[in-house]
Every structure is written in C-alpha cells, then in structure tokens.
Amino acid sequence: MVTLSEENYLKAIYHLGNQGDDAVSTNAIAEQIDAKASSVTDMIKKLAEKELANYIKYQGVSLTETGRLTARSVIRKHRLWETFLVNKLNFSWHEVHDIAEQLEHIKSEKLIDKLDDFLENPTHDPHGDPIPDKNGNYTKIKSKSILDIETGSQGVLSSVKDSSKAFLKYLNKNELALGDTIKVIDFEPFDDSFTIETKSRTMTISREVAENLYLSI
C-alpha cells in the first residue's frame, strides 16, 4: 500500500531525476513538493524502507524499478484525468492541473483502464505530455525547444515545458495552441528574443517563452 503522500514524493523524484534514474537532492525535492528538507528526509527513509527508492545518506535518492513503475502509474492517472477534464468536461487546459492532482490518487485499476478506453486510449495529454500505458511504457515525441531550433525551420507545437497557469494563460491570450505549425523567422541577440510565424500572424516572443515551447519537426 502506497499512501497519497508517498505517491507525491515518487512523482517528484521521477520528474526531478530524469525518470528517477539520477540521484535527486533532498533540497530539490523539498522545493518541488513545498515541504521542509527535514520532512523530505523522513519520507525518503520510508520509501527506501518499502524498497521504492534507493537512498544513501547525504547522497540523494533515486527510484527502484518498483518505485519507477509506481510513479509512472500515478503520472498515467494524472494525464488521463487531465485529458478527461479537457476533452469531455470542457475545462481549459490551465484549469485542470489542481483537480488532476487530486484525482490521480483515486485507487482502482479498473477505473483507470475504463477511463483510458472511454477516452479512446490517448497517447498524449492536453499539454502534449505522453501518457504511459498500463505497463508504464510510452513514446516521447521527439521535439526541441525553440531555443535549439535553427532560424528558418519550422515544426508543430507538440508540448510545453512549463505548465503553470500563468504560462498557459499567456498561450491562450496569444492564440498559441498545441498542434499549431510554428516557423522560427528570426533571432535577436540584443534581448534574446525570437520572431515566429503562425498560420494567423507573426509575433515576437521572449527567450523565456521560447524556452518553454517544444516543436516536433
């Protein structure tokens, strides 16, 4: 039995540690989860005790195979619920995170499998992130941040790195949506800004925004 809190720690370690492979520092987890370092140490010990994590004092944590699968299962639930909220209940994508954060902890294999079928087995959630299947497998779309794309080339907006409310609202306001074709027209070294072109218009975006937009070529 994995508790709600444990699930959140597993998810954090997974995301911070590159699928949970790299060792993650106590402070990094503390910041991610919004808790104090001492609380994190306590929880890490419990996870190691349950063989969900590998832990060496002062050396950080990584996930065991079981821990990784558990994390992926939580991520699967989170992303399926987000898809449900956006596709079926007509939420906009910036509203769904907090609700999915709760729904991801509902315990029922059968529920999530039926939800998956009901949504017609989506491979990506509304933010463009891949949804692991029952066995924890998924294929990431190969994509690059606009920062790393050569001027003149174009791609399809496939995901966003930052899923904060503020950023998603910015995208809505500027009529940028997943699936849009974006061409990188120019880079301005003075302020690190980019000029991009979409179907409807040409616009300038800051380095900060460019960093968070991932295009698949």
Partner DNA sequence: AAATATTTTTAGACAAGGGTAAAAATATTT
Partner DNA sequence: AAATATTTTTACCCTTGTCTAAAAATATTT
> Which parts of this chain interact with a second copy (CB under 8 A)?
85, 88-91, 95, 98-99, 102-103, 106-108, 110-111, 114-115, 118
CA distances from 16 to 10, 62, 87, 201 (A): 10, 10, 28, 36
Residue 158, token pair as written in the block: 């496939």
State which residue, 118 or 174, has the beta carbon closest to a second copy. 118
Please name which of 126, 125, 148, 119 lies closest in space to residue 138, comparing C-alpha atoms: 125
* CA-angle at 96, arms to 126 and 216, nearest 5°: 20
Residue 179 near residue 156, CB atoms below 8 Å: yes
Shortest Cβ 30–a second copy spacing (Å): 24
Partner from DNA, a second copy, none contacting 58, C-beta within 5 to 8 A by type: DNA
Partner from a second copy, DNA, none contacting 6, C-beta within 5 to 8 A by type: DNA
Report how far Cα 86 is from the mean position of its chain's Cα atoms.
Answer: 16
Shortest Cβ 163–a second copy spacing (Å): 18
Q: How many whole angstroms separate alpha carbon 158 and alpha carbon 215?
A: 5
Shortest Cβ 36–DNA spacing (Å): 4
Site residues (CB under 7 A) for DNA, limited to 34-63: 34-46, 55, 57-60
State which residue, 34 or 98, has the beta carbon closest to DNA. 34
Q: How many whole angstroms separate alpha carbon 97 and alpha carbon 77?
A: 12
Partner from a second copy, DNA, none contacting 111, C-beta within 5 to 8 A by type: a second copy
Shortest Cβ 18–a second copy spacing (Å): 31
State which residue, 106 or 217, has the beta carbon closest to a second copy. 106
- The DSSP call for residue 212 is H
State which residue, 28 or 203, has the beta carbon closest to DNA. 28
Shortest Cβ 98–a second copy spacing (Å): 8
Ordered alpha helix ranges (H), 56-206: 65-87, 97-103, 109-118, 165-173
Residues that bind DNA (CB under 7 A): 3-6, 8, 25-28, 34-46, 55, 57-60
